[in-house]
Amino acid sequence: MMAAVPGSGSGDHSQTVANHYNKLEESGLEQRSRSRIFYLRNFNNWIKSVLIARTLEKLRVKDSQRTISVLDLCSGKGGDLLKWKKGKIDNLVCADIAATSVEQSEIRYNDNRQREGNRLYKAEFIVADCTKERLKDKYKNPDQSFDLVSCQFSFHYCFESYSQALMMLRNASECLRVGGYFIGTTPNSNELIRRLRKSTDNSFGNEVYNISFSQKDKTNFPLFGAMYNFHLEGVVDCPEFLVYFPVLERLASLFGLKLVKKWSFSEFFKQNLTHKESLSLLSAMQALEPFPSVGGTEPMSANKDDYKCAHEFLSSLSESHTQDSRRPLKIGTLSQAEWDAATIYLVFVFEKVGDMSPSFAAAPDSQSHTSASLSANRSSAGDGNKPGS
């Protein structure tokens, strides 16, 4: 049950989040490759890459000659700059609350610009809290419009309060042209609550990730400000907020955004295995761990049970493998711990179908836009089969 009761969020956590990301140190390729979550990070990166590439394809089907402008909300250190280059976009605006991250992103872009010259898209970088500040007032060109708005692994921060959710959606929609898309990845609140209710206390997770709730009640959660603490090994350790998707859909519709589709990461992964380019990218990005391990390297997890599904799948393949073949079978997988961490997320795509109502600029009280209580989807469906299972 998600109830429209006063939330615990008071709008005071934005600086905590900014400080956290400002303090994160840049890690080199060698350091990342030694990380316990090396393949998880690559898998999540693959999800983003495919989502961005497939959406850009849809835009070009509509108008193959159109120059494409993109707004990257909560853009961080510029982890998606290469994706925009590969997507052959023309203009990019990056906005993030963490000044250090924006500075590092701009340095990364300028380095690329020196190598690529005019072949690289033009970019603008803005330090701003996308949940509290109107970005349109900060663009170099106040008449700027976008074909695509992207918010990856950060949208949930805006659900700290009703006003922050409205501002984030306003920023996503205000300069997005009709027919353009708003895409993103965010934790699946239904999945988080399902796992919470299965736990013996107010936390759940494994060696890779941990989520803990401060509230004891596992039945009722506020629509906004439903805070939990998220820890991801060596990367994230800060407060986050549940995003109740029916509320997101309803608020988005007020800004002319209509849901096209949402997928769990498991669904999105399986759907794109049939797409040739996406499948090729899976290997190129090292998004799955080779199983069995190659070159005498140790598995990413020391727990053999983490590869139980992969082992069973490999055994089933071996039974149908021709006896005269001497080539050893190998598959790609994620350790169970990493798969459990990946499958707390979902992918969403909204399309701009109409302009925002000018009268909505002054946001009314949240209670007038949400029912007294909304029932959450209590489906106990699992996470689906992980790669190599």
Q: Binding residue per annotation — 157?
A: yes
Three-class SS of residue 261?
strand
Ordered structural domains, the chain, with CATH: 37-275+345-356 (3.40.50.150), 290-320+329-333 (no CATH)
Q: Binding residue per annotation — 44?
A: yes
CA 101 to chain centroid, in Å, comes to 17
pLDDT of residue 302: 60
Q: Binding residue per annotation — 152?
A: yes
Given a contact cutoff of 8 angstroms between Cβ atoms, the answer to whether 211 and 192 are in contact is yes
pLDDT of residue 289: 86
Given a contact cutoff of 8 angstroms between Cβ atoms, the answer to whether 37 and 235 are in contact is yes
Q: Binding residue per annotation — 48?
A: yes
pLDDT of residue 117: 81
Quickly tell me which residue has 């989520």 as its tokens. 211
H or E element in which residue 61 lies? helix 38-62
- Please tell me the pTM assigned to this model: 0.85
The pair of structure tokens assigned to 77 is 């250190």
Q: Binding residue per annotation — 129?
A: yes
pLDDT per residue rounded down to tens, the chain (389 residues)? 555 444 444 446 665 555 545 555 554 455 555 688 999 999 999 999 999 999 999 999 988 888 999 999 999 999 999 999 999 999 999 999 999 999 999 999 999 999 988 889 999 999 999 999 999 999 999 899 999 999 999 999 999 999 999 999 999 999 999 999 999 999 999 999 999 999 999 999 999 999 999 899 999 999 999 999 999 987 778 899 999 999 999 999 999 999 999 999 999 999 999 999 999 999 999 999 887 777 667 666 666 666 777 656 766 666 666 555 556 677 788 999 999 999 999 999 999 999 875 454 444 444 334 433 333 333 333 455 566 54
Q: Binding residue per annotation — 229?
A: no
Is beta strand 345-352 parallel, antiparallel or unpaired with respect to 176-187?
A: antiparallel
What distance in Å separates the CA atoms of residue 92 and residue 347, rounded to the nearest whole number? 22
CA 76 to chain centroid, in Å, comes to 12
